[in-house]
A and B are shown apart, each in its own frame.
Chain A
Amino acid sequence: MIDRKDVEHAARLTRLALTEAELERMREQLNSILAHLDTLRLVDTTGVEPTSHAVDVVNVMREDEVEPCFPQDAMLGNAPDRSGEFFRVPRIIEE
């Protein structure tokens, strides 16, 4: 069972400002979904390696060559707030 503290912790980790009512509803829904997912415990996976990926590829290498990249203005073009050539954000470090 997932309790209220777990829900608040996950909401904090993932940066979702949820209201009291939303947190409670989320707790109920996650519990109902997790109850279903708990059937996974029934599967014997002793000694079974995990699969993170359906295709067996590892560490694709390429030459370290300088290539053209997107112009700065194109990359800043969608920014909600910018200052010159920077993304502007609210204060992060306390004074």
Chain B
Amino acid sequence: MHRPIHELTDAYRRGDLTPTAVAESYLARIAALDERVGAYLTVVREHALAAAQESERRWRAGAPLGPLDGAPLALKDVLCTRGVRTTCGSKMLEAFVPPYDATVVERLRAAGAVVLGKTNLDEFAMGSSTEHSAFHPTRNPWDLSRVPGGSSGGSAAAVAGGLAAGAFGSDTGGSIRQPAAFCGVVGMKPTYGRVSRYGLVALASSLDQIGPFAQDVEDTALLLGAIAGHDRRDSTSIAAPVPDYMAELPRGVDGLTLGLPDEYFIDGMDPEVERAVRQAIDVLRGLGARIERVSLPTTRHSLAAYYIILPAEASSNLARYDGVKYGLRVPGRDLVEMESRTRAAGFGAEVRRRIMLGTYALSAGYYDAYYGKAQSVRTLVRREFGAAFARVDLIVAPTTPNVAFKHGEKEDPLSMYLNDVFTIPGNLSGIPGVSVPCGFSGAGLPIGLQILGRPLDEARVLRAAYAYEKATPWRARRPELA
């Protein structure tokens, strides 16, 4: 049953499989294996079976809602689900039950998707390893002693481990693409504004974007197509038509020009990663793409700019957790004491650190030196991408400098931050990017190829990823969990 969604729905159409049997099979796998992986925070067995039965009735009647009807999916626990607790991996929201569905969730339900449960993450999506959930860490299905990446590590591990057919996450500095690379699945961050953020618990509002994890590029196109498009409840969502991503996939890369940025091959990166990515670029050249060198010199300052902008926005967004309207409350003599105790008890170490860093960077006397400067650097990053995309159609690069690391290996916050060095520029500039598997290290750990495109050019990004995937054998390899 661990097959891509498009194969499952083909089987539903032929009558070879039913959505109920598939949902039961996934739930049984979760019950048997998730104790070892820790991909889920909440499994909604009864909801899932009820949704699968409705889907089954539609397929029987020959009237499915579309290509996701009966697809068993997992949602990162930052997406609000009506009546199902949404914790953000934090003690602060351990008991929070949203009264509404995020727009993405609403659209998936309307497309007939079967939600299996909510997946684990680094607390409030701050992290790159899913070790820093307040509840439990998630493990990489390829090697349980290693991290799945983060912050959407639960979603990536669920898809890699056959605990969901597809999943959704959020990407603020690489939180979809990096875990997709570490877990050997496809993960896409769409253009900022392509997907509504309504009902996504906010981390850094100018950077956050929701996107899919999938077993292959075809599913990625299907999942993106289901959630993309304008939403009046998110005033930053873009009112541009959504192309038919599936129809664009088979067009290949013949005639496309791909940019290779010098700055994405750095000292200290894993030579196995570099080799796999350079071989992937040779494959794309063999398929008819032209490769051209491009320069993105501000890349090396992106990380620093990001670690000002993100904490600044996060410190402001997380001010809402004050023990009044929802979430944890620790009593105090007066309002300030109650708030201060609540926030100290509810937030873990990394969340506190970033809130403090952001508060400091925004405080009187420091604003221009930190936040103002970082925003100007952001302008330079955007300009450089703009100049590059005037010459090339897409940019190809590694998703991460390394393969999945061991649990507990990166105790120092800075060494953890360095993991996102190749994914952050995409968030600062708002452009779309995908990570697609491009090989394995000698130890059998997956490596990701990142393909970045112009704003709203997801179709071309996916088309190149699809051509590459079709030409290579990586998709056939699966971790052996059971």
Contact among B238, B298, B344, B363 for A10, CB-based, below 8 A: B363
A66–B175 CA distance with the chains assembled, in angstroms: 38
Q: Which range contains the number of A residues in contact with the other chain?
A: 35 or more
Contact among B193, B353, B429 for A57, CB-based, below 8 A: B193
User: Known: A17-B340, A40-B304. Is A49-B376 also a contact (CB below 8 A)?
Assistant: yes
| B304/A80 in contact, CB under 8 A | no
Main secondary structure of the interface of A (DSSP, over half): loop
Taking CB atoms and an 8 Å cut-off, the chain A residues in 37-93 that contact chain B are 37-43, 45, 48-55, 57, 60, 62, 70, 74-75, 77-81, 87, 89-92
Chain A's nearest CB lies how many Å from the CB of B223?
Answer: 22
| B343/A16 in contact, CB under 8 A | yes
User: Known: A6-B360, A50-B378. Is A14-B319 also a contact (CB below 8 A)?
Assistant: yes
Residues of B within 8 A of A21 (CB): none
User: Known: A51-B378, A75-B99. Is A15-B304 also a contact (CB below 8 A)?
Assistant: no
Chain A's nearest CB lies how many Å from the CB of B441?
Answer: 28
Residues of A within 8 A of B325 (CB): 75, 78-79, 87
Q: Which residues of A contact B (CB under 8 A)?
A: 2, 6-7, 9-11, 13-18, 26, 29-30, 32-34, 36-43, 45, 48-55, 57, 60, 62, 70, 74-75, 77-81, 87, 89-92
Chain B's nearest CB lies how many Å from the CB of A87?
Answer: 5
Chain A's nearest CB lies how many Å from the CB of B424?
Answer: 13
Chain B residue with the shortest CB-CB distance to A38: B304
Chain B's nearest CB lies how many Å from the CB of A33?
Answer: 6
Residues of A within 8 A of B377 (CB): 40, 43, 45
CB-defined A-B contacts under 8 Å, sample of 10? A29-B353, A29-B413, A32-B413, A39-B301, A45-B379, A49-B376, A55-B192, A78-B327, A80-B324, A80-B326
A50–B305 CA distance with the chains assembled, in angstroms: 12
Residues of B within 8 A of A53 (CB): 206, 236
| B353/A40 in contact, CB under 8 A | no
B404 within 8 A of A: no
| B333/A48 in contact, CB under 8 A | no
Taking CB atoms and an 8 Å cut-off, the chain B residues in 167-200 that contact chain A are 192-193
14 other contacts beyond A33-B414, A39-B304, A75-B99, with CB at 8 A cut-off?
A2-B360, A15-B336, A16-B356, A17-B344, A18-B352, A32-B413, A36-B307, A41-B373, A42-B301, A43-B377, A45-B379, A52-B206, A80-B326, A81-B329
